[in-house]
Amino acid sequence: MRRWLAPLIAAVVAAGLVAALASAGGPDTNKKSFEYAIGLWGDLPYSDAQAQTGVPNLIADMNSSDIEFSVHDGDLKAGSATANSVTTTTCADALYVQALTYFNSFKEPAFFTPGDNDWTDCDRVSNGSFNALERLQHERQVMFSGPYADTSFGKKRMKVEVQSSPLCLGTTSSTGSPTFQTPCVENRRWELHDVMYATFNVQGTCNNLCKSGSASDPSVGDTPAPDPSEEAARNAADKAWLDETFAEATAHGDDAVMLISQADPGFDATGGQGDPKRDPKTLAETDGNADGFQDWLLEVRKDTIAFGKPVAYVHGDSHYFRVDKPLHDANGLRVENFTRIETFGDNQGNGTQDVNWLKVLVDPHTRDVFAFQPQIVPANQVANTP
């Protein structure tokens, strides 16, 4: 009996040790559990079908899920308005009221960062020929001031930090003049269970360095257009907010950072989904278009490398769901702690298809912190043809 008892005891002890390690989930391991979940969506709604059916279905689906909060990463409408639409598809004041109705129907806290279709593209004829900066200032007043001055949307509210300096530019004039300095109150930051989250007003349309219109829908509302002074002030504020976000995360000992903005800035030379093409080492744009993102991306890269822990970069804009690692350092080596996440969106020609959201499972005690689960909303699925 003594001859097999010792090996049996050893086997039991070893099995117990393996089980303990598997359930412990230390900082350098992954496990099947998670601490909490959040929801990401954006580039919606882009049509009457999405506004009247798709987005309500999506919100109901998210409300039935166990998430701590949600974030919409910009674009409350399509780039151009839809003629004879039932819902608001121009940049009229009703657009922002409609968005508030959506966001405040969430059970849990809901966050939003502006998109180019909400303001930079509002100068198009179909959108009402608004001045873009005036629409941004209106958006700040409606969605980031008053009852939302330092809180989220939603039936439950969450307190946030709000950027107060450096200042951005704003105007209340339909002509865009005069302008004035104003806080970038749309830039927000909050922390939950050792993870830092922050939003940034970084836009498509070359970050407001390109005219937004086309031959069929020209931009006539902006003076000037493009607007380098507006972009310069906002870009300086965004970079300062970024640096402060990483400094605060480091000081608090946070295990990860999530950055959320609207624009797809492009990260390399592939130009996939119409992204800006750029040199992955210098991050300079190489496709001949105005580059409104190089300074921003260089700052993101610098802070990500210095932080050394997982950084998730969430955006919309290109309307193509993906999770990848496209950022490289100055020597062309992949920045492995950086993950890009692009949310679902658009596809207005396909009804409610792609009116979906992304569940992010968050566990600060695991190596990667974030895990991603695309959520296909059952009520929004469309029939496929073989």
CB atoms within 10 A of CB 297: 22
pLDDT of 3 > 80? The answer is: no
Q: What angle do CA 5, 10, 13 make, to 5 degrees?
A: 125
> How would residue 350 be classed by pLDDT, with cut points 50, 70 and 90?
confident
CATH class, 34-380 region = alpha beta
- 103 with 58: CB under 8 angstroms? no
Q: What is the average pLDDT score of the chain?
A: 90
DSSP string, 205-261: HHHHTS----SSS-B-S-SSSS-HHHHHHHHHHHHHHHHHHHHHHHHTT-SEEEEE-
What's the predicted TM-score (pTM) here? 0.91
What DSSP character marks residue 277? P
Per-residue pLDDT tens digits for 182-199: 999 999 999 999 999 999
d(CA 89, CA 46): 8
- What lies within 8 Å, CB to CB, of 9 at 6+ separation is none
Model confidence over 140-161: pLDDT tens digits? 999 999 999 999 999 999 999 9
% of the chain at pLDDT higher than 70: 90
Locate the domains of the chain by residue range. 34-380
One DSSP character per residue, 38-91 reads EEEE-S---SHHIIIIIHHHHHHHHHTS--S-EEE-S-SS-SSPPTT-SS--SS
